[in-house]
Amino acid sequence: MHHKLKYLYIGVDLHKRHHTAVMMTCFHEKRDEIQFENKPSAFPKFLQQVEKLAKKEGLTPMFGLEDVGGYGRGLAMFLIENKYEVKAVNPALTVSMRRSSPNNKKTDAWDAECVARILISNLDTLPTANPHDLYYAISQLVTRRENIVSVVTGIKLQLHQLLGYHYPSYKKFFSQVDGKTALAFWLKYPSPSCLRRVSVDELATFLYKKSNRYMSTKKAKDILSFVQQDGDTSKDYQGVNDFLVKNVVRDLIARDYQLEQIDSELAKHLALLDYKLETMHGISTVTAAELIAEIGDISRFSSADKLANFAGIAPVQHSSGNKQKSKKSKLGNRSLYDIFYNLAIRQLGVSRAKKPNHPVYHAYYERKLAEGKTKWQAIICVMRKLVNVIYSMMKYKTEYKMPVLTEQAA
């Protein structure tokens, strides 16, 4: 008997207040539809209904959930704790199936049925759900960090706009407009009017302390010279303008402190998993946390091929007659895809000394180009090799060791 015949497939459409479940056999025959509240007290009753039908049909329940990290996390954990298998269904697959329907309808029941249908057809390739507390905590920290970084980007744009009014040459003052020394300067001297009675020695002493003894007299002379060359930039209601600069700078300083706290928490929680991803060039603590947040427990994937499929890295082949073409897959985890893409770009980067960051990957990339592949296709090849490496490092918790580049490859 084929292994798919023994399951009762339950697709669940997840929402904030309630869930809708549709139960089907492997022949896509709909057996029942259940709607229940999204709260722990309602889960046992739902499970009883599923078990009753499964026993009647002589089948084993197999659950498919779209969002096991958000609204469906509680249900996924409940089912796993009760020893049931739960598969994570990519929402892109559900959307694709719904759009392919002749009537293109959109109801909770139809969405749940689409999840069940995908569960049936893709049973062997769908990853196991990953709602475990540690991975969830890391995922939430990563999400919080991304939100703060997004806010910081907007605040920095506002700071650039304000400084452009007051200091036309402000970009020449410091190598980083939002560096610690620069922020301290903008906070104390939000406009040139605040520098009118400041001597070179006074400004040099301030910079010397704020830059941890890195900047002093020369930097002070340069700044005062730029201010003089810019001319008078004072405006009406200058006090309000100075207040805005100080307010924005204080906001940036507070956000930087929040990011430091989150990075500290990430490092502490990553240590519990004992992965050694940071030993590879291009992977910082934040990148390692992003990888783990999206991949979760590596045991969900029986091979690197399945991880690559989950990330949507393997290109989709299109052929017609004698023509063949590879196209980018749009059904994988796009966040994980972007992480691997950025990691590949870092490996292929070149240092200031014109040396590749990672000679082996750079040589592999050049070889693929020589074979006739486009730049995008060659980068995909590098990403696919990185999937193999990351999978192995996570599965066996090993450090990264730089492979030796042979003369032929070089």
DSSP string computed for 79-90: HHHTT-EEEEPP
Helix (H) or strand (E) holding 29: none
pLDDT the model gives residue 325 = 60
How high is the pLDDT of residue 56? 94
Tell me the pLDDT tens digit for each residue of 188-234. Answer: 999 998 998 899 999 999 999 999 888 889 999 999 999 999 888 88
Position 270 scores a pLDDT of: 95
pLDDT one-digit tens code per residue, 290-300: 999 999 889 88
264/296 same-domain check:
no
Write the DSSP assignment of 290-346 as a string of letters: HHHHHH-SGGG-SSHHHHHHHHT-SPEEEEETTEEEEE---SS-HHHHHHHHHHHHH
Token match 């007659």: residue? 321
**Is 410 a member of any domain?**
no
Pairing of strands 30-37, 60-65: unpaired
- Predicted pLDDT of residue 407: 47
Do 262 and 143 lie in one domain? The reply is: yes
Q: 257 and 344 share a domain?
A: no
CA dihedral defined by 47, 50, 53, 56, rounded to 10 degrees?
A: -60
CA quadruple 194, 199, 203, 205: dihedral, nearest 10: -140
Instruction: Point out the residues of the chain with pLDDT beneath 50.
Output: 407-410
Cα–Cα distances (Å) from 15 to 35, 49, 66, in that order, read 11, 20, 10
Assess if residue 403 is contained within a domain: no
Final residue before a domain boundary, out of 249, 268, 287? 268
Residue 256 lies in domain: 136-268
pLDDT at 362: 93
Give dist(CA 242, CA 251) in Å, integer: 14
pLDDT of residue 333: 87
Number of domains forming the structure of the chain: 3
Domain-ending residue, one of 131, 166, 186 = 131
Q: Which helix (H) or strand (E) holds 107?
A: none
pTM for this prediction: 0.75
Find residue 37's DSSP bridge partners. 18
CATH classification of the domain holding 205: 1.10.287
> CATH number of the domain that 81 lies in?
3.30.420.10
Same domain for 224 and 299? no
| Domain stop point among 131, 163, 198 | 131
- Whether residues 225 and 256 share a domain: the answer is yes
